[in-house]
Amino acid sequence: MMWKDAFAKGVASYKKSQFSDALTHFDEAITLGCDQFSIYDSRAAVYEKIGNFKAALRDSKKVIDLAPERWQGYARSARLFHQLEKHEAVVRMADLALERVKSDDIQRRADLCGLKKQAIDAQAALEHRRIANSTYHIGKLPVELFTSIFLLVLEEDAARVVTLSHVCRHWRNITIATPCLWRTLVISDKHPVRKVQTWIQRSKSHIFALIFRPSTPELDSPAIFTALTPLSWNSLQVCKASGRWLMSLHHILGQLSMLQAISNLEELDLIDCSAIDDVVEHFQNSKLRTLTLGGTTSLNSSSWQHIRSLVSLTIRANHAGNDILGALQMNPMLESFILDHTQPVSLTGNLRPPVSMPHLKHLELRNLLSPRSVLVSAHAPSLRILRIFNAPMSVDESLAQMTDVGVDNLVELSIGSSPVTSRTLRALLLKASLLETLQISSIHGVVNDVLEALSKPERTTGELLCPSLKHVDISRTADVQTGIVMGLVKSRMHAGGEEGTAGTLAGVETLRMDGCPKIDAEVLPWLRTKVKLVSCVYMSRKEARAARR
C-alpha cells in the first residue's frame, strides 16, 4: 500500500472524529516514506484535538522545517503555545505567520492578530502580578509582628478576626494558627453552637472574653453550654451577659465545680439581672476591676460588701435600686464612675465625712434630679473629667463645693440641660487652669457671660482664664451672640510657643455651635480660617421638617 492511501484514510478518519484511527494511518504513512509537510500538519491537528499539545508542537516544528516559507506551521505553533500559556512564543510565532499569510486573506490575518493580542494582554497581566507579589512587603514580616498588628486591630472589634482570615491565604494561615486572636467569643443568633465549637478549637479552649448577645435564642441554651464545657474556665477574664444567660452560666459552672472561676473575672457587664445575689457571693477576694450594670440590674448594700476592688463602675439603669453611695464607699480606688439613669431619679443622703477617692479621674452623672449626693460624697482631688447632664435641680451648690475642694487637675467640664449660674462657672474656671475642653449645652442665660469671662484678662492676674482651652461646645444655646464667640477666638490667637505651658495660650481648635440660631452665617468663613473644626448646624433634619409644617 502506498503512503498516499494511508494518508487518505487518515484524513477520512479525522473528518469522522475517529482520532485514534487517524493517528494510526498517519503513522503508517510516515513509515512508508512520506516526508511531506502536509502529513505532519495533519497529525499535529489530531494531537491538538485530543489535547496532546507537546506532540502537536513536535509535528508543527517538523512542518516548519519542511516548509519554512508557509504559514501553517507557525500559525499552529502559535495556537499550541497559547494553550500552554507560553505568551512570548505565541507573539513570535504569530508574527512569523503574519509575514507569510497573503494580504488578501483577511479572516486568517484577523485571527492571528487576535491571538497575538490575547498573548500580549496575558503577558502584561502576569507582569503586573509579578510586580505586585514582589512589592508585598508586609508578607515578609515575621509572624510575631503580624500577630501584634492583628491584636491592635481586634482591640476595637474582636469580630474582625473573621475579616482578617479572609484577606488572603497567608493571613488566613496566620490567624487560624494563632490562638490569642480568637480569645473573644461573641455568642449571638447566628449559628451559636457552631461558632462556639470553632472558637474553642482555634483558641485552644482559652477564651478570655465571653459575650452573650440579647438576641441569642434561649432554646439553644443547652446546646451552647454543652459546647462550652471544654472551655478553660480559669482563663475567662471578661463576661458580658443578660440575667438569664448569667444564671445559666452560674448553673453550668456549679455542675462543673468551677464556681471559683467567677473570682477570676476582671470585667463584668450585666443587663437586666434583677437577682444576682447567688453570683455576687462568689466575688470573695475577686479580681473584678470593671463593672457595668444596665437595665433592671441592681445590687443592694450587702452585695457591695463583696465588690471592693473596682477601678471602673458604670451604672445605666432604669430604676433607683442600686446603693450608689454604698458602691462609692466600698470602692475608694475607683478611677472612673458613670451613673446614667434613663429617667430622672433622686438619690437620698450623702456620706459624712466624704469618702476619699484619690484616683477618681472620670465622673459622669446623667438624669439625676440632683447630683449633689454624689458630688459632695466623693473627695476627688485628681478629677480630670466632669460631666453633668439632665439634672432638673440646680447644681450650683455642688459645683461650688467642688471648687472649694480643688479642681486643679480638671481637663474637661461638660454640663448640659442642668441649671447653673454663670457666677458658679466663672469661679470654677478661675481655678481650672488645665482645662482643655468646655461644653455648655442646652442652658439659657449662661454662655455669653462665661465666654466673655474667658475672653478678657482677669483683674488680679492680668491673664486669661483656662490658658489650655482648645475645645469649646456651646450647642443648643439659643441666646449665644456672634460677637462674643468671635471675641473668644480672637483672644486665644497666639504666635509661637508651646501650647499649654505657663504664659502661653492654646488656640481654639474645635468650636461646636449646633442649634445656635443667633450665630451669623457670614462670620463662619472667618471662623473656619482661625479654627480647625467649626460646626454650626442651625437645625436638624427633624427640626427642619417640623418647621416646614
* Ordered DSSP codes for 180-248: GGG-EEEE-SSSHHHHHHHHHHHTTT--SEEEE-TTS-GGGHHHHHHHHTTS-GGG--EEEEEHHHHHH
For residue 247, count CB atoms less than 10 angstroms from its CB and return exposed for 0-12, middle for 13-18, buried for 19 or more.
middle
Longest dimension (CA), the chain: 127
CA dihedral 76→80→83→86, nearest 10 degrees, is -120
Amino acid letter at 525? P
Angle at 423 (CA atoms; ends 348, 393), nearest 5 degrees: 25
Residue 437 bridge partners (DSSP): 412, 471
Half-sphere exposure of 219 (CA within 13 A, CB side): 2
The Cα–Cα gap between 293 and 322 comes to 9
Please tell me the predicted confidence (pLDDT) of residue 498: 42
Burial code of 449-464, b = ≥16 C-beta within 10 A, e = fewer?
ebbbbbbeeeeeeeeb
| Cβ atoms of 466 and 435 closer than 8 Å | yes
Residue 293 bridge partners (DSSP): 270, 315
Angle at 547 (CA atoms; ends 545, 549), nearest 5 degrees: 75
pLDDT in tens, the chain (549 residues): 577 777 787 778 878 888 888 888 788 777 777 667 788 888 888 888 888 988 888 988 888 988 889 898 899 899 999 888 888 999 999 999 999 988 888 898 999 999 999 999 988 888 777 766 666 667 777 888 889 999 999 988 888 999 999 988 888 999 999 999 999 999 988 889 999 999 999 999 999 999 998 888 877 888 998 999 999 998 999 999 887 888 888 888 888 888 888 888 899 998 887 767 667 777 777 788 999 988 888 777 777 888 889 999 999 877 666 778 888 888 999 999 999 986 665 565 665 678 889 999 999 999 888 788 888 888 898 999 999 999 888 899 889 888 887 789 999 999 999 999 999 999 999 999 999 999 999 999 999 999 999 998 887 778 899 999 999 999 999 999 999 999 999 998 864 334 444 446 678 999 999 999 999 999 999 999 999 999 999 876 676 666 656
| Cβ atoms of 54 and 24 closer than 8 Å | no
Please state the pTM of the whole predicted model.
0.69
C-alpha cell at 314: 458604670
Task: Look at residues 364, 413, 368, 421 and name the one whose alpha carbon lies nearest to residue 390.
Answer: 368
The Cα–Cα gap between 112 and 97 comes to 8
Domain boundaries, the chain: 3-134, 436-549
For domain 3-134, the CATH class is: mainly alpha
| Cβ atoms of 489 and 508 closer than 8 Å | yes
Q: What is the Cα 7 distance to its own chain's centre? A: 72
SS3 at position 481? coil
| Cβ atoms of 182 and 204 closer than 8 Å | no
The Cα–Cα gap between 88 and 73 comes to 17
Amino acid letter at 530? K
Q: Which residues contact 144 (CB under 8 A, 6 or more apart)?
A: none
Please tell me the predicted confidence (pLDDT) of residue 299: 78
Task: Look at residues 294, 382, 283 and name the one whose alpha carbon lies nearest to residue 332.
Answer: 382
Half-sphere exposure of 430 (CA within 13 A, CB side): 18
SS3 at position 58? helix
Please tell me the predicted confidence (pLDDT) of residue 511: 96
C-alpha cell at 505: 495660650
Please tell me the predicted confidence (pLDDT) of residue 355: 86
The Cα–Cα gap between 262 and 195 comes to 23
Residue 115 bridge partners (DSSP): none
For residue 7, count CB atoms less than 10 angstroms from its CB and return exposed for 0-12, middle for 13-18, buried for 19 or more.
buried
Residue 511 bridge partners (DSSP): 472, 534
C-alpha cell at 458: 482677669
C-alpha cell at 278: 447567688
Residue keyed to cell 502580578: 129
| Cβ atoms of 379 and 351 closer than 8 Å | no
CB atoms within 10 A of CB 141: 13
Q: Which residues contact 464 (CB under 8 A, 6 or more apart)?
A: 454, 455, 456, 457, 458, 491, 492, 505
| Cβ atoms of 428 and 405 closer than 8 Å | no
C-alpha cell at 43: 497529525
Please tell me the predicted confidence (pLDDT) of residue 209: 94
C-alpha gyration radius of the chain: 40
